[in-house]
Structure 1
């Protein structure tokens, strides 16, 4: 008697999931999808469940889509729609429209890779999200490893990604200003010129 009750329960659950799956996919339920749902819901071994689900799926698939929908309505079966998560970047704390400035600073020493692409797109999208400014700044402070051809290649890669910049410049364009500000910091006592050798600097850094 207990087995018969459990079998009826499995049949009801299998019927429910077979109908739901069929209606979702133009009248054809998928056995693998249905068995997964049923096994997650009933406490029974697979040997007992599989033939019941298989037979139920075959029966449901013989019905027309309209008949499946009518049976679902008659049995009070409702397809629960998953809440759609809004896709996109999380908001920036304290950001204000028109005041956000982002920049992408590639070094012109090679082609852009996937890491560059991710950084460029995130920076670009945040600037657009807040009606801000997106800057392309070539970090050209290591001329021994850089080549003129990569300026153009990197810009072409960004265009291919759909990234458009509002301003473009090179770090070297601002070196006179950087030098002037560094001198001011030294004069005002906020910075000093370190005379340590590279070995001493590394040792001090490791020592904390």
Structure 2
């Protein structure tokens, strides 16, 4: 790839990666957060003990986490086509990215919520707080630093997943690295895309760590 074509290609690929990661992270937050809350609430001793429901939810989450992302992408191609009308491109890649990240983040949410002291929850219940209020006013605020840290880890994972999405034409930096860096043996493109991905990951991780620290010292 010529120097004149490299910059526009990198800008376009970076924008596609940002689009994939942003929307999949937002959907993961919207789906994974309530799923993690349900995992805790339906456990024995939880707000709504339901061992059968917990077993089903836990099984679904475990299956989702056990599938390698590249296998998941291929396995759900019919579902991706049903949702987006296509199996290639940036929009199509958001579907497997989200489905791959939701179980991962749900477990991190569960871990963060379990870190909240039981005495705090019991005190809120003793004051007559409803289950919904306990979740909204006690569990989530108390676990907020852990939730932010978990979301940061998930976004970093999504950046890596988005690079793999390039293997099936998902667009982004991964697609650029595969089409030019690997298939056309363009070492310069490969090195630049790797460096860009590392820089983006470092920025996301640093920002997430900063926000989590600020929240933990409120």
Same fold by TM-score, threshold 0.5 exceeded? no
Report the TM-score when normalising by structure 2: 0.20
More strand by share: 1
Structure showing greater Rg: 1
Report the TM-score when normalising by structure 1: 0.21
More helix by share: 2
Higher relative contact order (CA 8 A, sep 6+): 2
